[in-house]
Structure 1
Amino acid sequence: MTVFNKRQVGNTKLIVSELGFGAATFGNLYRPMPDSAAKESIIKAMELGLNQFDTAPYYGFGLSERRVGDALRSYDSSSYVLSTKVGRILEPCAKAEDKYGFCSPMPFEPKYDYSYDGVMRSFEHSMQRLGLSKIDIIYMHDIGRVTHGDDHDRLFKIAMEGGYKAMDELRSQGLVSAIGLGVNEYEVCEQAMDHGHFDCFLLAGRYTLLEQKSLQTFLPRCIKENSSIILGGPYNSGILATGVRREGVVPHYNYEPASKEIINTVARIEDICGEYNVPLAAAALQFPLAHSAVVSVIPGLSSADRVETTVAQMQHKIPAEFWTALQDAGILYPDVPVPSTLP
């Protein structure tokens, strides 16, 4: 079994592997996958030392949670850390349709609900779909101004006055060990920290080789308040995994085709990767973990083979000179922590 370093989540007793397992693909994200592939990928992950698994009701409208639960049910609950999300309720609809990128057979429609009752219902429904004895972490899903636009202020008020109260009660009652936000916007995390204590944040794509703005205020505040970062989307929607030079592949960044500026930046990163014989994906995975606020990275994993490949990328030896070259090129902030600075 691979031995991964493990890190503590906030002030909790949860200890997670530095590499986690994102299960959005289990909801048939962009393409169907068989149940067997989902189960095999989690078995392989457990064999290779991963102990952190993240899902959500939104992923396939319940399908991901069902598959994660089916795969983990045979393991002792103390051997893994499981997270799911609240903030949406799945309402029955007449038939299943492919929507929001999910090719799911589940006949449900997701509806935002950040209220106290909505969060409690979501938690109960997730427990039933998972069919497991525990959920370790719940994240409030997709709250934020970029997501909700002009409706953000109204929804955020409901979330902090109602949804947070429910999450805090679940934590204080010992029904979950940690609470946080699962979002693509670090600004809303800072906003939420003014209203309560969050043990951790699942932050997608906002602290990567391409983006370090969150280093200025958010990450230092997380250290001060002992709130951990689980870094989702380390590939920035795929562009830091595929690169920009594959024929027939449209590079995607932040869930849409990448701009020329982003493509040019990634091309410069690829040039430096080539100079130092470093796989682009390996650099993308390892970079965030140099910051003391970040306890793990969680890429999406869709097969046993992908699990093995990702583990190999996490273990690839990267010379200190590589990170210096990225800083000299202006791709990384000059004062950003890099893996070579780790003790």
Structure 2
Amino acid sequence: MKFRPLGQTGLQLSWLSFGASSLGQEFRKVDVSDAMRSVRLALDLGMNFIDTSPYYGRGLSECLLGLLLKDIRRERYLLGTKLGRYDGSHFDFSAKRVAESVDVSLHRLGVDYLDIMLCHDIEFVDRQQIIDETLPALRKIKEQGKVRFIGISGYPMSNLHFVLDQAELDVVLSYNHYTLQNTMLADEIPYLKSKNVGIMNAAPFSARLLTNQPLPPWHKATPEVRAIAKAAADHCAARGSDIAKLAVQFSIANEDLATCIVGSANPANVEQWVKWSEEPIDQELLAEVLAILQPIHNWFYIEGKPENNDPLPS
């Protein structure tokens, strides 16, 4: 397992990290024992960062992690969670809820401190509140030692400039924007590095779009996007490979991204991803797949408030 620095935090993150949304059954019903084995296997194979949120399973992910982590030495892992998003329509970034949310997460996870705390999916609210109220409240909690580093997560790239043009952050987490299909995050790397921000990438499969698995019901891919992604997957299969393998290898290859967060409640998947990460990427196949995906390169969807999103291509 390779490790990379996370901005100016001093943390070294494994280039593959474990995303615990799967423990909250965000994609399918899961077997709890399999889910717990997945986390333990990820740690045993060298993944040293676990990412979760109270939104995942509406607290279930944090609670399951708390049960597992109580038997694991705290120095063996880095732990990050989020605040502000609690279900599909419930968002609360007030200073009062910030303090409450941190304490609840600490209790559920059974730890004394969190390595990273992120404001979760800020595109769903008036983002100025994040600047004026949420981040100041988080900084006070950071001073208390309950949280080591703070940042934001979300889908639109516009979140990055909106916040960082007004406030300092330690880290950011972006998802679905450094994949075989969408590399918009790469365009923001110079800006983020100028702000001394650690960059975490997540979701190399773009919520199963870049796999052979059926998409979850809530996936926003259009019929054209689905068809082209399937053509790319079929091409990989015809070449004796798996588009998911290429997706993992591509998303961890950029040295400026500290880690790529990926999760599963299936231990076999975790083991497979680590194996793939250690193999050289097939450059010829990569070029062929990128050519197939070119018509939908950097396609994205609207998430949260329309005014908080990136301009749609003309």
Q: TM-score by structure 1 length?
A: 0.78
1:8-66 Cα shifts (integer Å, max 9, x gaps):
11101211111111111212325433432232111111111111111111111211101
Distance change >3 Å, CA 41–CA 17, structure 1 → 2: same
Distance in 2, Cα, partners of 1:333 & 1:33: 32
Aligned to 1:124: 103
Does structure 1 residue 70 correspond to structure 2 residue 59? no
CA distance in 1, matches of 2:103, 2:234: 49
Q: Is the 8 A contact 1:51 1:79 kept in 2?
A: yes
Residues 168-179 of structure 1: pairs in structure 2 closer than 5 A: 168-179=139-150
**Pairs aligned (count):** 297
Q: Structure 1: how far apart are the matches of 2:32 and 2:238? A: 41
Where does residue 311 of structure 2 map in the other structure?
none
Answer whether contact 1:230 1:294 (CA < 8 A) is retained. Answer: yes
Structure 1 segments unaligned to the other structure (5+ residues): 90-98, 101-109, 244-248, 335-343
What letter corresponds to residue 157 of structure 1 in structure 2? Q
Distance 1:62 1:35 in 2: 14
- Identity across matched positions, percent: 28
Offset, 1:333: 11
Q: Which residue pairs with 1:297 in the alignment?
A: 260
Q: 2:8 aligns with which of 6, 11, 14?
A: 11
Match of 1:256, SS state, is coil
How far apart are the structure 2 equivalents of 1:252 and 1:258? Answer: 10
1:235 corresponds, among 205, 210, 213, to 205
CA gap 1:134/1:266 in 2 versus in 1, 3 angstroms: same
Q: How does 1:159-308 map to 2 (within 5 A)?
A: 159-216=130-187, 218-242=188-212, 249=214, 251=215, 255-256=218-219, 258-270=221-233, 272-274=235-237, 277-308=240-271
Secondary structure at 2:132 match in 1: helix
Distance in 1 (alpha carbons) for counterparts of 2:107 and 2:145: 18
Provide structure 2 residue ranges, at least 5 long, that are not aligned to the other structure. Answer: 298-314
Distance 1:307 1:220 in 2: 31
**Is this contact kept in 1: 2:27–2:216, CA < 8 A?**
no
What is the match of residue 60 of structure 1? 57
Q: Distance in 1 between matches of 2:238 and 2:28?
A: 35
Q: Deviations over 1:131-188 (max 9, x none)?
A: 11221100100111xxx3xxx4xx2122211101122233344332221112122211
In structure 2, the CA distance between the partners of 1:252 and 1:25, relative to structure 1 (3 Å rule), is: closer
Greater RCO, CA 8 A, separation 6+:
2
SS of match in other structure, 1:138: strand
